[in-house]
Amino acid sequence: MRVGLVCPYSLDAHGGVQVHVLDLAAELRRRGHEVGILAPASEDTELPEGVTSAGDSVAIPYNGSVARLNFGPVVARRARRWLDEGQYDLLHIHEPITPSVGMLVLQAAQAPVVATFHAALDRSRAREILSPATVPLIERIAARIAVSEEARRTLVHFHGGDAVVIPNGVNVAPFAEAPSDDPRFAGTDQAPTIAFLGRLDEPRKGLQVLAGAIGPVLAAVPGARFLIAGRGEAEEQRQALARYGEHVQFLGGVSDEDKAAMLASATCYVAPQTGGESFGIVLVEAMAAGSRVIASDLTAFSDVLGAGQYGALFSNGDSDDLARVIIDTLTHPEAAEQRRQAAREVVGRYDWATVTDAVLDVYDMALSTAHTRVGPARGARTMVARLRGVLDGGER
């Protein structure tokens, strides 16, 4: 089968959706399918196998982060060319209602379309306003996937209909096989290590929440060390935490190998994100690595952690409660060990081998139910008609 995957976010930046698309493509190829990928990327970006650039992107604040998207006649032209050259049996568009290349591909698509929805939003004025105009686009989708119940709730709220919930995939083996005694990250009973991983300059990643918990933890466990990994400027936090000396270590960005070793070796891993999370890939990675996981009680995180069966939860945004849970995890290892063992027994459900089986089932459904759809009149003043105009202009 020839499958065309479309990612709306630029490959110039690291992100969960980009990783998801690339990993799914790799697993599909491993099974013998031909896969092409279309995504925004700058000219000097080294593109992975089978990726076609849809052109440069523009940074737009979105959902507490920054999304790099692209749109317009030039992008439409590239999308048309990619579709014509690929002759795909099926298209799989991620976040198809995001104003980026995926929306243009959806409008131009002739093959059956599967769409995956990743976002989890409590409210969005822009989506509320635009959702009626996106109905004709949504109707072009043969089958819909949501990566979590939160992503499904967001989809149903803003666009109606329903979706099959298939979680994000993770390559479990590299984390399960990572060394658990790396001296850079490993803790001891007297000097346990607490790891954090996330972009430092995105408030929703929760570094400020963890920072507020460090003092109380050190008061109860004086030998504890906090390992803070991630890219981004956080000079204010660095200065504020300098008073803890060697108890707080900023690691900067880490490689995939070092990330796995840190998660496997640290005494526990903390995910203090405050919102905007639809799933929690790093929780699954930490579970696979055998870490004792602590996370804020966001619905998406609670779902991954089985409402506390596979990791400890604390009240979102509450540094004092986070400190309490960290101290409890460090001083009551029996309960923490039970959660860790339970997590390792269930984490296989997120492995790409299992997730891809479910995705292929949806592909089969889309191919079996595909039918011809009627497009809007070219002169209509609807969003879809205007998009059609962009596409037609792109052909000239």
pLDDT in tens, 141-178: 999 999 999 999 989 988 888 999 999 999 999 999 99
Residue 6 sits in the same domain as residue 139? yes
Which of 298, 296, 293 is closest to 338 using CA atoms? Answer: 293
How would residue 388 be classed by pLDDT, with cut points 50, 70 and 90? very low
How would residue 371 be classed by pLDDT, with cut points 50, 70 and 90? low
Residue 177 sits in the same domain as residue 165? no
Q: pLDDT at position 310, please?
A: 98
User: Can you give the CATH number for the domain in which 278 is found?
Assistant: 3.40.50.2000
Residue 223 sits in the same domain as residue 95? no
Residue 245 sits in the same domain as residue 316? yes
Q: pLDDT at position 219, please?
A: 98
Residue 320 sits in the same domain as residue 391? no
Residue 177 sits in the same domain as residue 282? yes
How would residue 68 be classed by pLDDT, with cut points 50, 70 and 90? confident
Query: Which comes out higher in pLDDT, residue 318 or 126?
Result: 318
Q: pLDDT at position 304, please?
A: 95
The rounded mean pLDDT for the chain is: 89
pLDDT in tens, 18-65: 999 999 999 999 999 999 999 999 988 899 889 999 999 887 766 556
Residue 8 sits in the same domain as residue 149? yes
What 8-state DSSP symbol labels residue 142? S
Q: How far is CA 197 from CA 42, 202, 207, 269, in A?
A: 27, 12, 9, 8
Q: pLDDT at position 273, please?
A: 96
Residue 387 has pLDDT above 80, yes or no: no
How would residue 67 be classed by pLDDT, with cut points 50, 70 and 90? confident
pLDDT in tens, 327-368: 999 999 999 999 999 999 999 999 999 999 999 999 999 999
* Cα diameter, the chain: 72
Q: pLDDT at position 132, please?
A: 65
Residue 120: domain span = 2-169+352-395
In this prediction, what percent of the chain has a pLDDT beyond 70?
89
Residue 114 sits in the same domain as residue 189? no
Residue 85 sits in the same domain as residue 146? yes
Q: pLDDT at position 375, please?
A: 37
How would residue 380 be classed by pLDDT, with cut points 50, 70 and 90? very low
Residue 157 sits in the same domain as residue 194? no
pLDDT in tens, 79-125: 999 999 999 999 999 999 888 999 999 999 999 999 999 988 765 55
Distance CA 72, CA 390 (A): 7
Residue 9 sits in the same domain as residue 63? yes
Beta-carbon-side half-sphere exposure of residue 296 (alpha carbons within 13 Å): 25
- Which of 4-13, 168-177, 273-282 shows the lowest per-residue confidence on average (mean pLDDT)? 273-282
Q: How far is CA 387 from CA 4, 78, 100, 247, in A?
A: 20, 15, 11, 55
Residue 213 sits in the same domain as residue 339? yes
Q: What b/e string do you get for 338-355 counting C-beta neighbours within 10 Å, with b at 16 or more?
A: ebbebbbeebeebbbeeb
Q: Which two tokens stand for residue 252?
A: 């900067």
Cβ pair 355, 167 in contact under 8 A: yes
Type and span of the H or E element at 339: helix 333-346
Cβ pair 384, 69 in contact under 8 A: no
Q: pLDDT at position 364, please?
A: 96
Q: How many domains does the chain contain in total?
A: 2
